[in-house]
């Protein structure tokens, strides 16, 4: 094997290692300041490098046109607006949003929204068993959306109203 091919292979291998390291660095923990809350489970923030749209992982909040949608949005806004928050990115959704757990002054925002009854655990994507406990407690206490007679989960609302899932 020629020296040129060996050097070329080494360069390609090195490039692949750098690309893998770069990709894993993007799915990591970083900080940002909240610019805008879109709805009860989506916000826009500025990190040191860019403006990023974040979708909260493992939970699903009522849609804006759904009962308790405005309250859910306000609950998220009250927890994060204008604050520096820590983002622990899990990946990206099909809309290009960063899917993440958020922490504001040590508060697990995703869990806090479920605990106060402002969001459901999203069973299709949830992995944290503590979220299910928080939801059960919120439902039993009739907090937030659980004060409604028959709250409809957002994924069901979207299917009924718009014919799609998110």
Tokens, residue 132? 């299910």
Catalytic residue among 9, 33, 46, 97: 97
Q: Is 37 helix (H, G, I), strand (E, B) or coil?
A: strand
Burial of 159 (0-12, 13-18, 19+ CB in 10 A): middle
Torsional sign, CA 116, 124, 159, 77: positive
Residue 97 annotated among the catalytic residues of the structure: yes
Round to whole Å and give the CA distance between 100 and 107: 14
Three-class DSSP category at 43? strand
What is the DSSP-derived secondary structure letter of residue 9? Answer: H
Looking at 31, 36, 53, 55, which residue is catalytic? 55
Q: What share of the chain is helix, strand, coil (3-state, %, to 5)?
A: 40, 25, 30
Q: Which residues are catalytic?
A: 55, 63, 97
């Amino acid at each position: 094997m020629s020296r040129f091919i060996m050097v070329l292979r080494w360069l390609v291998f090195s490039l692949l290692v750098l690309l893998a390291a770069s990709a894993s660095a993007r799915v990591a923990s970083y900080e940002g300041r909240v610019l805008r809350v879109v709805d009860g489970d989506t916000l826009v923030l500025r990190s040191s490098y860019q403006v990023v749209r974040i979708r909260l992982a493992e939970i699903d909040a009522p849609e804006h046109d759904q009962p308790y949608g405005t309250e859910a949005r306000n609950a998220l806004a009250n927890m994060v607006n204008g604050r520096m928050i820590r983002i622990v990115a899990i990946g990206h959704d099909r809309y290009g949003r960063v899917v993440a757990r958020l922490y504001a002054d040590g508060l697990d925002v995703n869990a806090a929204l479920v605990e106060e009854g402002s969001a459901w655990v999203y069973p299709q994507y949830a992995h944290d068993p503590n979220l299910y406990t928080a939801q059960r407690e919120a439902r039993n206490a009739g907090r937030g959306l659980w004060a409604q007679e028959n709250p409809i989960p957002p994924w069901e609302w979207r299917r009924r109203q718009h014919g799609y899932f998110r």
